[in-house]
Structure 1
């Protein structure tokens, strides 16, 4: 293999590596943005749970509920 062919091959390899790194960074940033977006927009104020003092076999209750009693 000539020196020119070796340089061309290594340039292709470097380009492929940089493309892979760039794609990985874009995926990482996109996934993190999605997690932050979901955390900020879909956080419910109240979720179903056993109220303090209610007892069911094997159930857990919140220590202090932020939900109003109905």
Structure 2
């Protein structure tokens, strides 16, 4: 095998390894987002409850749990 063939094969292998690594990171990040989406409770938001009804603060759309 020539030195040029070995260098070409090494570059191709490195490109595949980098590509697979990037793909694995993207799949892992998406899996994490799906996990968080299913385990979180977006309807359960704590908010400020003022008895006087003042509107100087932002409030949650729904009541807390």
Partner of 2:34: 36
> Which gives a bigger RCO, structure 1 or 2 (Cα 8 Å, sep 6+)?
2
- The Cα shift of 1:13 comes to 0.5
Unaligned runs of 5+ in 2: none
Unaligned runs of 5+ in 1: none
**Does 2:62 match 1:61?**
no
Match of 2:21 among 7, 20, 23: 23
- TM-score, scaled to structure 1: 0.70
- TM-score, scaled to structure 2: 0.75
CA RMSD of aligned residues (A): 2.7
Moved over 4 A (4+): none
